[in-house]
Structure 1
Amino acid sequence: MNPPPFDDGFRRQLAALFRWRRDVRRFRTTPLPGGLLERLLEVANHAPSVGLSQPWRFVAVDSAARRAAIRANFASSNAAAAPAGRTAHYARLKLAGLDEAPCHLAVFAEPDPAQGHGLGRRTMPETSAYSAVLAVHTLWLAARAEGIGMGWVSILDPAAVAAALDVPGHWTLIGYFCLGFPEAEDDTPELEREGWERRRPAALLRR
């Protein structure tokens, strides 16, 4: 079977997609179109995985009570997360879209899935989690291509998240994500615009 023509025009659009992917923190409350989340997850399901194990586990968090538990988890974790010497700057940043985003998605990794028969994981078992991260990145790009913003809420207690969502205790939390239409678009990360950090050029070591 012949591959599709990935020409210069496609490559330019792909580069633009990478540049315009943002960690969105402010969302409109407009619901996602019906079936869109499922379509995005089908794209994410094509991410590479060690031994073709597909260890990612997606959990849509629709329950108001469970969302409230996650929100409380974030509030307590966030209060203790301000870096020393940058507390005031940190306080100005809105680090979650938990209140406005219409879609909440938790992503876990199955550490030792039967699928894949253990291929590639004997010396590096952490590749199961790495594979789930690749699924997240694939989802992020697919969402951006649909005009959907995605924000990573990492300031959480993973054990409390697993308990709140009633998932198997051995699953590893990869991240909790908010999805929705962003309030605004920008080709520069918010943390860079706010002076928190700047993107540096890629570094390459040769040996």
Structure 2
Amino acid sequence: MRRYTDSDIAAVYRVIEERRDMRHFLSGGLDPALLGRLLRAAHLGPSVGFMQPWRFIRITDQELRQSVYRLVDEERRLTAVALGERQDDFMRLKVEGVLECGELLVAALMDRREAHVFGRRTMPEMDLASVACAIQNLWLAARAEGVGMGWVSLFDPAQLGQLLALPLGARPVAVLCLGHVGEFYSEPMLQQQKWAERQPLETMVFENRWRNDEEGSPSG
């Protein structure tokens, strides 16, 4: 079957549209079988040269979770200072759910990536793009399963790597909070909080060459 049924296609588009970066979680962990399905979805992600550069570290030690939280909170405060006049607005946002979520994962780039040249000779950053694809798979599968997920990037990679004993050359990419939620946000939380809005698609689709803003719409 080349084409899925209309209902299956609608479900794919629905889960994409309703995916949310969640920060509020209910107590309680995830069923191991469910977590296994989500991780398998991530592992089915595409990767350049089939290098599969993702590694997932499941944080089950509560003291270690507290240490991860402290790193995130430290960077949250430094980010607030760097934002200048938006500092107070930022500090009012809930930007992580590290302590509340049922499962805490760290997604990392593997070490010895320089051995993988296929697709990376001129674009070595494609290893990071591959990990991002795996994370997106995990995110969409979680949403389909009714599980909330939040991607946290507020941390110093060197400090988190040292905390988790990453080998030389490996690098943490994301702290992923997963867990059951009371409800999913009706729209992206940062949009709800008036931090930013989704930009119109037509301003981001060009034809044949880069279009500067002053050149008008694609049809213009």
Task: Identify whether the pair has TM-score above 0.5, normalized to the shorter chain.
Answer: yes
Distance verdict in 2 for CA 1:91–1:113, change over 3 Å: closer
Matched, 1:107 2:107: yes
Q: 1:76-115 maps to which residues of 2 (within 5 A)?
A: 76-82=74-80, 83-110=83-110, 112-113=112-113
Q: 1:183-198 maps to which residues of 2 (within 5 A)?
A: 183-198=182-197
One-letter amino acid of the structure 2 residue matched with residue 179 of structure 1: L
Paired with 1:10 and 1:91, the residues of 2 have a C-alpha distance of: 41
One-letter amino acid of the structure 2 residue matched with residue 23 of structure 1: D
Match of 1:16 among 14, 21, 32: 14
Paired with 2:114 and 2:92, the residues of 1 have a C-alpha distance of: 45
Residue of structure 2 equivalent to 1:126 = 125
Q: Give 1:35 deviation, angstroms.
A: 2.2
Moved more, 28-37 or 16-25: 28-37
Q: 1:148-169, CA deviations, whole angstroms, 9 ceiling, x for partnerless residues?
A: 1101111111111111111213
Q: Give 1:98 deviation, angstroms.
A: 1.0
| Count of paired positions | 204
Residues 162 and 169 in structure 1, CA contact (< 8 A), matched pair in contact too: no
One-letter amino acid of the structure 2 residue matched with residue 140 of structure 1: W
Paired with 2:113 and 2:75, the residues of 1 have a C-alpha distance of: 30
Match of 2:31 among 20, 29, 33: 33
Q: TM-score, normalised by structure 1?
A: 0.92
Distance verdict in 2 for CA 1:186–1:56, change over 3 Å: same
Paired with 1:34 and 1:111, the residues of 2 have a C-alpha distance of: 28
Q: Give 1:118 deviation, angstroms.
A: 2.6
One-letter amino acid of the structure 2 residue matched with residue 142 of structure 1: A
Residues 121 and 127 in structure 1, CA contact (< 8 A), matched pair in contact too: yes
Q: 1:35-90, CA deviations, whole angstroms, 9 ceiling, x for partnerless residues?
A: 22122111111111001111101110111121111111112111111111112211
Distance verdict in 2 for CA 1:74–1:114, change over 3 Å: closer
Moved more, 17-26 or 81-90: 81-90
Residues 47 and 134 in structure 1, CA contact (< 8 A), matched pair in contact too: yes
Residues 65 and 99 in structure 2, CA contact (< 8 A), matched pair in contact too: no
One-letter amino acid of the structure 1 residue matched with residue 179 of structure 2: G
Moved more, 62-71 or 16-25: 62-71
Partner of 1:191, secondary structure, is helix
Q: Give 1:114 deviation, angstroms.
A: 8.2
Residue of structure 1 equivalent to 2:199 = 200
Q: Give 1:8 deviation, angstroms.
A: 2.1
Paired with 2:63 and 2:28, the residues of 1 have a C-alpha distance of: 20
Matched, 1:139 2:138: yes
Partner of 1:175, secondary structure, is strand
Q: Give the structure with higher Rg (CA).
A: 2
Q: TM-score, normalised by structure 2?
A: 0.87
Q: 1:86-144, CA deviations, whole angstroms, 9 ceiling, x for partnerless residues?
A: 122112111110111010000011254488x5311111111111101100001100111
Distance verdict in 2 for CA 1:186–1:75, change over 3 Å: closer
One-letter amino acid of the structure 1 residue matched with residue 182 of structure 2: E
Partner of 2:14, secondary structure, is helix
Residues 19 and 187 in structure 1, CA contact (< 8 A), matched pair in contact too: no
* Structure 1, unpaired ranges of 5+: none
Residue of structure 2 equivalent to 1:75 = 73
* Structure 2, unpaired ranges of 5+: 209-220
